[in-house]
Structure 1
């Protein structure tokens, strides 16, 4: 990010009505326009958090993010550039029923429409472009997706400064801040299940997320660094189980193990391996990559992959 730009995030919110795809548009009171839900990043937020928060604030609908569908850039009257990141986001019937939206001073109305009608109704070319990006995925048979999230543990005490067993190395103060910082973004992608290396630095990294979800942490030595160093690691088994489950999951592991995890994910989904996998696995401490897979056909390959780094 740059200091001169204004960052925002939002989504193409969708649902099925009588087996037909509909997308959500908002009618803004002040501007008298029709646009996609979005809003500016709050201090300390990561973009994924912003997207989910703004969608809920503007529509009352709680969503989990799907695949990224583009970035729009345009010049503001202040001459600064506004950069908006968008994700696809399914609105479940339960989430729609739970919405407490009423017209207000910012949003006059919500409108669900077929994509064809939405393309005619949207006020801005940048919104039309984002919707067209989303529709390209739909045309490819990709709509419902689930994320497999690979998280590197937070910053731990260095080996040379630790006298105990390597697996017992704790997080530093920065590592603990990273563990807290990723909770919001991980929740934004619908994280529900947590699988972690048994190493203290991994378990402590996902502990705040587990507390937020009120869920336990499944500890798997198959993705531990000890097992990797001894040639006993087995990310293939873990990845195979998670791809078959077709549900959102967070795998917390170690820098040296991450390339194997991403490589096994590519093999399990029939994805051509390329340099992007190296980038997605070369994570800083506390960072994570999200691989989006098709719910209907996870063997069709990784739909999209993105990396997020906490601001601490």
Structure 2
């Protein structure tokens, strides 16, 4: 009988010690007597990045902020195919303790020590890929609003067009995938469908919404440069930010970034609730990750 694919996710957790030297957190699992990065299987209807964030907390007790997607591993264990995706994660604080039956040690190692300590050669390849990224990055999330009522089904002002039930569910579930980036600001078009998309996130994170007319379709129709210039200004802020807007505004902004930097995304279109995560350092883009809308 063919075994179904087991999907899992994890993170490479890093910090700088008092001597400003880079250190990596590894876990020891007594069941396997091995050293590895924290990772685990996806729960039902869970997406990879949310699973990685949850597993970090369960296996280390660390609060972290995620950075770029690093890569994935595909391998077989006892005839079962596994796929594991990894993200970079900056250590913030220790807020809990790992489950002792799963993890009996969480230790910090230098890069060379971690490479020697890791039990699986595949994990070493993930560590080497991790080292190719500039770690001190911020995230700018270009979020398309969730699923709204169709234009031809709405007779009022288009800016007042609301989310439908599926969109409302998407909005509630976006927190699980976007909170991992340590969101500090939320900017939104004043359109109701954008406001309704980011309001659950803002309330959960206790953030005030910043309404930006320059992210609206009305302003874009008059001056297509204004949304792009607004987003460029957000990149100058050393914060992790959500900017919720519309098609075709966000794809045009992404295409301008691609033309300027040569850094591409795995997806060039956004469906409702999808997002691009622009990772940048000192106003320079280092990676662009795609996040699909939450399943509902």
TM range (shorter): over 0.9
After superposition, residues 196-207 of structure 1 pair within 5 angstroms as 196-207=188-199
Residue in structure 2 matched with residue 292 of structure 1 by the alignment? 279
The structural deviation recorded for 1:101 is 2.0
The structural deviation recorded for 1:287 is 0.9
Does structure 2 conserve the Cα–Cα contact (< 8 Å) formed by 1:25 and 1:110? yes
How large is the RMSD of aligned CA atoms in angstroms? Answer: 1.9
1:177 aligns with 2:177: no
Counterpart Cα distance in 2 of 1:107 and 1:165: 55
Residue in structure 2 matched with residue 251 of structure 1 by the alignment? 243
Counterpart Cα distance in 2 of 1:37 and 1:188: 15
Residue in structure 2 matched with residue 302 of structure 1 by the alignment? 286
When the two structures are aligned, how many residues end up with a matched partner? 293
Counterpart Cα distance in 2 of 1:28 and 1:182: 31
Counterpart Cα distance in 2 of 1:176 and 1:80: 37
Counterpart Cα distance in 1 of 2:230 and 2:223: 16
The structural deviation recorded for 1:185 is 0.5
TM-score normalised per structure 2: 0.93
The structural deviation recorded for 1:202 is 0.6
After superposition, residues 1-312 of structure 1 pair within 5 angstroms as 4-17=4-17, 18-77=19-78, 79-92=79-92, 95-96=93-94, 99-101=95-97, 104-137=100-133, 142-231=134-223, 234-265=226-257, 271-272=261-262, 276=264, 280-294=267-281, 297-299=282-284, 301-312=285-296
Q: Deviations over 1:151-190 (max 9, x none)?
A: 1111111111111111111100011011112111010122
> Which blocks of at least 5 consecutive residues in structure 1 are unaligned?
none
Does structure 2 conserve the Cα–Cα contact (< 8 Å) formed by 1:280 and 1:307? no
Does structure 2 conserve the Cα–Cα contact (< 8 Å) formed by 1:148 and 1:248? yes
Q: Deviations over 1:191-238 (max 9, x none)?
A: 221111110001100011011111111111101112222336612331
Please identify runs of 4+ aligned residues in structure 1 that moved more than 3 A: 230-233, 263-267
Counterpart Cα distance in 2 of 1:265 and 1:227: 20
Does structure 2 conserve the Cα–Cα contact (< 8 Å) formed by 1:223 and 1:233? no
The structural deviation recorded for 1:73 is 1.0
Q: What secondary structure does 1:62 align onto?
A: strand
Q: What secondary structure does 1:202 align onto?
A: helix
Counterpart Cα distance in 2 of 1:193 and 1:13: 24
Does structure 1 conserve the Cα–Cα contact (< 8 Å) formed by 2:57 and 2:98? no
| Structure number with higher strand proportion | 2
CA 1:103 to 1:38, structure 2 compared with 1: closer, same or farther past 3 Å? closer
Does structure 2 conserve the Cα–Cα contact (< 8 Å) formed by 1:281 and 1:289? no
